[in-house]
Structure formats: C-alpha cells, structure tokens
Amino acid sequence: MKSTATKSITKWILIPVVIIIIVSAGFVAYQMIKGTSPRTRRVISWIRNPQKFQDWSVAALTRCNSSTPFLFPTEGYIGFLWDDSFRPCHHHQGIDIFSKSSSGETPVYAASDGYLTRLSDWKSSLIIRIPHDPLQPDRQIWIYYTHLADSDGNSYIIPDFPPGTANYFIEEGTLIGYQGNYSGSIGNPVGVHLHFSIVLDDGSGSFLNELSIQNTLDPSSYFDLPLNGKINQGIIPVCQNQLPPP
C-alpha cells in the first residue's frame, strides 16, 4: 500500500504533466483554427491561382494618394498584416506582399529615399534608414526588407548592395532586389513574398530588433491602407485609385 508521501509525490508529478497536455492541446487547436482563418485561406488561394485574384494586388512604385508617404515596394497581394498572430504570443511585425510569379522574378524597390545598410551576414535582408519620419519628422525610422533570396539562401539582392554595405544613399524607386522564398532555414521555403516592416530607431543611430512588434510601427498611415491585423479583420487592402509611377 502506497504511503501518504508517495501519493503526494505522484500527485505533484501528475499536475505538471496534465498542464503540459492541456497547453499542448490548446496550441494544436489554435493552430488549426488559425490555419483556416479567412486571411490565411485567401493567401493560400492567391498562391494557388494569383491570376484569378488580380484585383487583390497592389502595383509596385505606386501610391494610394499624392500625399501617401511610401511607394509600394513591390507588386502583389498584401496577404498578412501588421499585428497578425500566427501562433500564441507571436505578433507579425510588418506586412507580407505575395508575388504572382516564381522566386527571383518580382522586383523589389525602395519605398522611400534613405540610407541602405546590409549587414555582413544578411543573405536575404537589408534595411533603409530614413532620417526624418514623414509622419513625425523629429524622429528617425528604418524600413526593413527580407526574403530576398531563394530557398537555399542564394541572394536576390542586386550586386550594388553586397554584404557589408553601410549607409549608402538611394532614392525612392531604386531597384534593390527580387522577391524570394528563403525562410532563414535552408531547404525550408516559404511562399514567394516580401516581408516589409517599419522599425524604430534605438536612440543611438541604429535600429531596434525587428523581431519584436513593440519595436515596429503600424504601417497603415505610411501606405494609406488598413494594414493593422487586429483592426482589419476582413478588408483586402487595395487602393481605390492607385496613382501611377512618376
């Protein structure tokens, strides 16, 4: 017959096991629900047949209005928005613009004048410093681009901006590379798209960690589109009247 002490120990062992099982089941259920969300379903539909949904697409080098701060940096469907959540405790730090073409074919451009930096170990990423935020000129911001490489990490960033490039001035509309499907893990591709985010300055002339949403800004006002995932639950973000490239 088990002693009281043994029963007590067994009880305290079982409690965390049960908690782990419940949390795991909740995570799986969350993933299943999220995987069938309207936004996710639309992204899957676009990837499978983009020609069918061309009215969802924004055009590169255009603006929604003459006063809109940023150009659209590439062509495609803005499928995932800022502050979307793909898993518990995760918040998407920018927007994902999905191509209608294969990896390495859809051009990506500078959304604004600024100073381009590409760290020496960045295969698919670069960042552009904007000394005066067009919406708050007394602060500096950065615009971050990633997934500009193929599934093996071969870069699609143009040769003008090799690894180690720092503080190189470019004008808005400058070609910087092509949309890719590099996930950061070789051989584990994502859908062909550009991830674009607006990153805050650290106060010392560098950028904060883009992986934390609190270090990024809601891009809605920079493109004059509803790009906040918590607020926009169902609207496909396209301009009513896109202005053509200058």
Residue 3: per-residue pLDDT: 59
Q: Are the C-beta atoms of 208 and 25 separated by less than 8 Å?
A: no
The domain ranges of the chain are 56-223
Cβ partners under 8 Å of residue 197, min gap 6: 82, 93, 94, 95, 143, 144, 210, 216, 219
- What is residue 168's predicted lDDT score, i.e. its pLDDT? 98
Cα 184 off chain centre by: 13
Amino acid 33: pLDDT: 43
Question: What pLDDT, on the 0 to 100 scale, is given for residue 198?
Answer: 98
At 53, phi and psi to the nearest 5? -125, 40
What is the pLDDT at residue 35? 46
pLDDT of amino acid 27: 42
Gap between the Cα atoms of 42 and 1, Å rounded: 60
φ, ψ (nearest 5 deg) of residue 101: -115, 180
Q: Which fold has domain 56-223?
A: Glucose Permease (Domain IIA) (2.70.70)
- Listed as ranges, residues in the chain with pLDDT below 70 are 1-36, 87, 89, 245-246
